[in-house]
Amino acid sequence: MRASGVALLLFVSCTKAEVRSPGGWTDERSLADARLNVFLDGARFAEALNMADSLIASGARDSRVLAQRARALAGLGRSADAIATFEDALLGDYENCENHVQFANYLMRLGKTGRAQTEFMEAKRFCEGRYVALIYRNLAVAGIKLNKPDLARQYVDEGLLSSPGDPYLSGLKGMLIARDNPVEAESLFATAQSGAEASSDFLVQYGILLINASRPLEAVEVLEKASRMEPEDRDIRICLAEALYRAQSYEEAEKALRALLAEKDEAEIRGSLARVLYHEKRYEESLDICLTLEQSPEVMDRIAMCLQGLGKSDEAVAWERKTLAAKPDWPQAMMNMAVILAARGELDGAAALLERVLAIEPDNVVARSNLARLKEALEGLQNEK
């Protein structure tokens, strides 16, 4: 899956395995390898796993088939088995570039960013050609995900030295410097869009990059083009729905999400739909969906705000308290609780929450503005006494 969910969207490049047929392979073994890749590339993971297991049982237990088995296990959601099998594949041939890259990409998808970064560094020792730029892209992404923008910038600059004009690296650099140097960032975004082959994979990655850079309208345009190229690709459509939501095209986002749910009911997609409905002020519908989801802090916060939108402030307060009990230092929940309390006339409590937000996020403009308004209101009440 390329990207999904509210958190979306950090830029991860993927690559398919290349055939590296060891000397001495029979024609039958080469054919089996090709068939395995067909299964994997077609997401036929159960068939791939059965075939890999058959090859291993027949004595063909090399690093190549182990990596293919790991990919099949990953596709089936068996993450612990996939990780162990990737490790076995690397023990069999530690200098195999593709195995390092695929394992690192999988670790990134699992959210194991630190370990993925280490694996990409190992891949850099053995890879060359087109893999070099890919590795630097993902090292930069790992830096971003680990909240180390300076490290991410270092990897981007190193990558551009080895691969000048690489569109992904140019786009990443644009994202990293957008605040401090918007003019250069704009030029880099243009380079990113014009300097790559117009493959659907590039368009998806570039669309994700635009979303991360708070340019959702452009992301919609790019992702719509990708979707026209591969209309059945669910991951592209999920990314497009996210871009539509970020662009405040709620009606279109809702339509896209409902179409996805009609094909396959997934909690993550339902959560995205609930978020869209909330922003359309369809609080009852959003609430009904939220109550079907796992009660994470994010879902409980959404429930609280739906209840507030329905005028049920007592229930809203109760849910927001549960949210803050589960995630005490979450600024968004504190700000939402402040909104609820202010609407109930509990201005002191609301102001105290906003002050806590600013202690955590001094640059939070919304919290500072709301706190200023609350203080004016409190001063007005004091003057009336």
pLDDT band with cut points at 50, 70 and 90 for residue 382: low
Q: What is the CB neighbour count within 10 angstroms for residue 122?
A: 19
What residue ranges define each of the domains in the chain, with the CATH number in brackets? 197-293 (1.25.40.10), 318-385 (1.25.40.10)
Q: Where are the alpha helices (H) located in 76-129, listed in sequence order? A: 79-92, 97-109, 113-126
pLDDT band with cut points at 50, 70 and 90 for residue 7: very low
Report d(CA 155, CA 171) in Å as an integer: 13
55-64, 300-309, 351-360: range with lowest mean pLDDT = 55-64
Per cent of the chain over pLDDT 70 is: 90
Report d(CA 355, CA 202) in Å as an integer: 43
4 has pLDDT over 70: no
335 has pLDDT over 60: yes
Convert the pLDDT of each residue in 131-171 to its tens digit: 888 899 888 888 887 888 899 899 999 999 988 878 888 88
Task: Report the phi/psi class of residue 371: left, alpha or beta, with left for phi > 0 and alpha for psi in -120 to 50.
Answer: alpha
Considering Cα of 118, then 124, then 127, then 131, what sign does the dihedral take?
positive
Convert the pLDDT of each residue in 255-281 to its tens digit: 999 999 999 999 999 999 999 999 999
Q: Which of 322, 326, 196, 69 is nearest to 337 (CA)?
A: 322
Instruction: Check residue 196 and give its pLDDT.
Output: 55
Report d(CA 249, CA 216) in Å as an integer: 10
Instruction: Check residue 383 and give its pLDDT.
Output: 66
Report d(CA 274, CA 19) in Å as an integer: 44
Place of tokens 């509990």: 346
| Average pLDDT score over residue span 367-378 | 87
Instruction: Check residue 384 and give its pLDDT.
Output: 65
Instruction: Check residue 286 and give its pLDDT.
Output: 97
Q: What is the CB neighbour count within 10 angstroms for residue 4?
A: 18
Instruction: Check residue 197 and give its pLDDT.
Output: 54
Amino acid code (one letter) for 355:
E
Task: Please say whether the beta carbons of 40 and 148 come within 8 A.
Answer: no
Convert the pLDDT of each residue in 111-141 to its tens digit: 888 888 899 999 989 888 878 888 998 888 8
User: How high does pLDDT run on average in the chain?
Assistant: 86
CA–CA–CA angle 346, 351, 357 (5° rounding):
135
pLDDT band with cut points at 50, 70 and 90 for residue 5: very low
Convert the pLDDT of each residue in 196-233 to its tens digit: 555 676 677 778 878 877 889 989 998 998 899 889 89
pTM higher than 0.75, yes or no? no
304 has pLDDT over 50: yes
16 has pLDDT over 80: no
